[in-house]
Amino acid sequence: MSMDVVRHAACVCLTLLAACGRSDSGGGSTPPSVRYPDHVAAGGNQPPAVEVNSPLTADSANASDGSKIFSSMNCDGCHGGGALGWVGPSLVDGRWRYGGTDGALYQSIFYGRPRGMPAYGGVMSPGAIWKVIAYIRAQPVPAVVPTQRWTGEPRR
């Protein structure tokens, strides 16, 4: 069927398992739960939960590793090259269905989401997930773009 705008980094195959299967660099163990500060809390009280933060520093090496993992784990097959959105939503518009905190992103990748996001916890280590999050965080988010304008003559 038809597709795409999908880029797949040339690394992959063998490095994949090394990068994703075992690497545990800085990831620690799976958190029991995460806090969603952007959810409405019943009664105004947040449920007790761990606030999960990335153990990685926001450096270009982590983002670069995350970019390769984003391709090698086929994330771009759904979210598009550059995570700009494809059959899955854009990850670089600064807006989030399930919360945009580190912990919420981790939860989305590790456990999946019900409308089609696969659970990658079975094939990606916590360290690899944090690197993908570092990559997403490193992408430029456009300034607020509430209005799309078509002005002047049609371009085609």
Partner 1 sequence: MRMAPFAAGALIVLQGTAPRDDGQWTMPARDYAATRYSGLTQITPANATRLKPIWSFSTGVLGGHEGQPLVVGSTMYVVTPFPNVLYAFDLTREGYPLKWKYRPAVNPTALGTACCDAINRGAVYADGKIIYNLLDGHTVAVDATDGHELWRTQIADLSQGETTPMAPFVAGNRVIVGPSGGEFGIWGWVKGLDLATGKILWTAHNMGPDSAMLARPGVGRYVGEPNIGVSTWQGDSWRRGGAPVWGWISYDPQVDLIYFGTGNPGPYNTEQRPGENKWTNSVLARRPRDGTLIWAYQFTPHDSWDYDSNAEMILADLVVGGRMRHVLVHFDKNGFAYTLDRVTGELLVAEPFANVTWAKGINKRTGLPILDTTKTTGASRGNVKGICPSLEGGKSPASPSAYSPHTGLFYTATNNLCMNFEAAPVTRIPGTPYIGATTPYMAGPGGNMGEFIAWDAARGHKVWGIKEKFPVWSGSVVTAGDVVFYGTLDGWFKAANARTGKELWKFKVGSGVVGAPISFRGPDGKQYIAVYAGIGGDWFLLSGDVRSDDPADVRPPADFAPELARHTSQGGIVWIFGL
State the amino acid at position 33 in one-letter form.
S
CB neighbour list of residue 10: distance below 8 Å, 6 or more residues apart: none
Which CB, 62 or 71, lies closer to partner 1? 71
**82 φ, ψ (degrees, to nearest 5):** 70, 10
- Residue 8 is a binding residue for partner 1 (CB under 8 A): yes
3-state secondary structure (DSSP) of residue 113: strand
- Residue 140 is a binding residue for partner 1 (CB under 8 A): no
**146 φ, ψ (degrees, to nearest 5):** -75, -15
Task: Please count the other Cβ atoms lying within 10 Å of the Cβ belonging to residue 104.
Answer: 20
Which residue of 16, 31, 138, 139 would you call a contact of partner 1, by CB under 8 A?
Answer: 16
Residues within window 46-105 making contact with partner 1, judged by CB under 8 A: 71-74, 76-78, 81, 84-90, 93, 95-97
Binding segment (CB under 8 A) for partner 1, from list 30-38, 56-64, 113-121, 125-133: 113-121
10 Å CB burial of residue 72 (0-12, 13-18, 19+) is buried
Which tokens sit at 98? 């399930």
CB of 131 to partner 1, least distance (A): 17
- Residue 155 is a binding residue for partner 1 (CB under 8 A): yes
- Report the C-alpha gap between 97 and 92 in whole angstroms: 12
CB of 84 to partner 1, least distance (A): 7
CB of 133 to partner 1, least distance (A): 17
Instruction: Report the interface residues with partner 1, using CB under 8 A.
Output: 1-10, 12-13, 16, 71-74, 76-78, 81, 84-90, 93, 95-97, 114-118, 123, 145, 148, 150, 154-156
